[in-house]
A and B are shown apart, each in its own frame.
Chain A
Amino acid sequence: EAGVTQFPSHSVIEKGQTVTLRCDPISGHDNLYWYRRVMGKEIKFLLHFVKESKQDESGMPNNRFLAERTGGTYSTLKVQPAELEDSGVYFCASSHPGGASKNIQYFGAGTRLSVL
């Protein structure tokens, strides 16, 4: 079974530019999550999709961040325009749609975003 994949693994952009991160969850996982860790801080939740619907977006920092999951498969997280404080590692995770293992999340390796 393929794991959660994220692309790119590393992105370096200048302040004011736009970046789009992609996450491919494990096949069949309806739940998809975005998290991020900025330098020296703890991993923080950004948002949660159930299929194509946003279940919880309480962690999105501001309207420069836009997450989509059209068709309920892969998801993208766009940052426009990027600011210096957006630098960090962005993780995607997915979990089973139902049953006891719904609360076990499988994480991708992350995308390291550097805004210069």
Chain B
Amino acid sequence: LAKTTQPISMDSYEGQEVNITCSHNNIATNDYITWYQQFPSQGPRFIIQGYKTKVTNEVASLFIPADRKSSTLSLPRVSLSDTAVYYCLVVLYSSASKIIFGSGTRLSIRP
């Protein structure tokens, strides 16, 4: 499983766009980039997954360059409720194998 590297923490303000970049230099051909979000006292929650270019859903966008060695999670117009830990993971597509969590990025949103 490819190792990922992401910032330990980030701060932003309500209404701003937040971009969290993750590097995954050893990503394999069949790997997908996946992001989970975890609020205090809750389990991690899947937010978005992608393979290349751009993926958008109702929560976030995921930008993946052609070489796939990094990716950027974009949260538009954040609110206080977006304060959480965000985990960048590389997972084998259509595999039910275990998740290896890193330390994640602790995002703090201020008024």
Contact = CB atoms under 8 A, between A and B. Distances in A.
B101 A42 contact: yes
A112 to B, nearest CB: 8
Interface string B80-111: 00000000000111111111111100000000
B34 A56 contact: no
B95 A105 contact: no
Contacts of B93: 100, 103
Interface residues on A, range: 20 to 34
A42 B102 contact: yes
A24 to B, nearest CB: 13
Contacts of A48: 96-98
A56 to B, nearest CB: 6
Nearest to A104: B46
Interface residues of B, number: 22
A35 B101 CA distance: 10
A43 B42 CA distance: 12
B42 A109 contact: yes
Interface stretch (A70-78, A79-87, A91-99): A91-99
Given A42-B101, A42-B103, A45-B99, A107 B94 contact: no
B61 interface: no
A102 B43 contact: no
Contacts of B41: 109-110
A55 B95 CA distance: 12
Contact of B96 (A45, A91, A103, A108): A103
A43 B32 CA distance: 20
Given A93-B44, A107-B44, A108-B43, 15 more contacts: A42-B101, A43-B101, A44-B101, A45-B99, A56-B97, A59-B98, A103-B96, A103-B97, A104-B34, A104-B49, A105-B99, A107-B43, A109-B41, A110-B41, A110-B43
23 contacts: A31-B96, A33-B98, A42-B102, A42-B103, A48-B96, A56-B98, A93-B44, A93-B99, A100-B93, A102-B96, A103-B91, A103-B92, A103-B93, A103-B94, A103-B95, A105-B44, A105-B46, A107-B42, A107-B43, A108-B43, A109-B43, A110-B42, A110-B43
